[in-house]
Amino acid sequence: PAPSPPPPAPGIPSYDGGAGEGAGGGTAGWGSSYQEPAPKKGGGRGRLVATVLVAALVAGGLGGGLGYTLAKNNDGNGSTTVSSSTSGGNVKRDPGTVAAVAAKALPSTVTIEAESSSGEGGTGTGFVFDTQGHIVTNNHVVADAVDGGKVAATFPNGKRYDAEVVGHAQGYDVAVIKLKSAPSDLNPLTLGDSDKVAVGDSTIAIGAPFGLSNTVTTGIISAKNRPVASSDGAGSQASYMSALQTDASINPGNSGGPLLDAQGNVIGINSAIQSTSNGGFGTGQSGSIGLGFAIPINQAKYVAQELIKTGEPVYAKIGASVSLEEGTGGAKITDQGAGGSKSVDPGGPADQAGLRPGDVITKLDDRVIDSGPTLIGEIWTHKPGDEVTLTYERGGKEETTKLTLGSRVGDS
């Protein structure tokens, strides 16, 4: 049996902008989530944009007034103003600069609008995966549109295309949509190698935070292999990832957008943030505090290819139910599976490897396992058929065993 979804628990990063409170002093927990609401006429997003524009005008007016005063005061004493010979349009931006990377990547990044059959929905981000019109994004971005809803993608040049959901994976939090009447000049973003990413590497995130499309932010890789568990807040099963952590500013609406390296290669899909329970342009919605999490692209690429091929996700599994509680010192195999089934599948991978209920798995290969969600996230970075080495404790003794991962098709 597959591990069942976790109950609400504190201290685990939520989907981007999740505003739920856990017991850990306002940190976001399992099940807390954010979906950017569809704009209402004369409502939220319009006011947000208006506020930003007014602020810009005030600042511009103030700057202009000060500039005029200073120039007037210097009349007759020799001007101290230094003018640029160009407006910036002719400045050479070498490959590898943020401006150069953004200029190349932005035309292949889209803002996604997803709407359910009842009219509820929100916005997110995606990027061009191939020349056939497939766009990769997060499952929670398009979840509203899966059953009879609508999806559309808008490019930075303003061109908007209706789309359809090709496949979605709740557990991985990856989805693929396909543009209807896709243009012939699509340029897929180049995919990097997330396994080779190092802490301290530069990152560039592109998305539509709070509906502000085509926003570019920068940062570094703060950590690797962060266990992250969250749900879309709609009662679906949890998503697990062994994430790339970045301090690039990621906010609601960045979900599904590309996390790029300094060369412009996609190394991850921006998916979640750890946030406080308030903040965010005065709307009461949570925003970035510099703890963003992305699905490694090596995993997302495999998932996307399976979704395009079959429309369904394929998950690696060990064939055992593990506890999702903390404080077990690892991933403890439960005494009973979901619905009263056996916690170790008879004849399954764990059974064949000699694992039993009560065993506590502490390592997968060289990766330390400190909880059930951590184990699930690590297993899902592998493919069915991969052989792994598990270290576990039984009766106070440490043991090791080799296990060949099995497979499960679909989210049910």
Q: Which are the catalytic amino acids? A: 140, 173, 255
DSSP 94-134: -TTSHHHHHHHHGGGEEEEEEE-TTS-EEEEEEEE-STT-E
Rg (CA), the chain: 24
For 223-291, give the DSSP string.
EEEEEEEE--SSSPPPEEEEEEEE-S---TT-TTPEEE-TTS-EEEEEEEE---SS-STTTT----SS-
Tokens of residue 161, six digits: 């295309």
Nearest-5° Cα angle at 408, 406 to 409: 140
Contact yes or no for 372/318 (Cβ under 8 A): no
Q: Considering only CA atoms, which of 248, 273, 241 is closest in space to residue 262?
A: 248
Report the distance separating Cα 170 and Cα 208, nearest Å. Answer: 22
What DSSP designation does 216 have? E
- 220 SS3 class: strand
Backbone angles phi, psi at 145, to 5 degrees: -95, 0
The residues, any chain, with a CB within 8 Å of residue 360's CB and separated by 6 or more, are 328, 329, 330, 331, 332, 333, 392, 393, 394
Is beta strand 360-364 parallel, antiparallel or unpaired with respect to 292-296?
unpaired
114 strand-pairing partners: 122, 151
Among 293, 289, 273, CA closest to 221: 293
**Residue found under tokens 């990832």:** 241
Q: Return the DSSP state at 39.
A: P
Pairing of strands 150-154, 134-137: unpaired
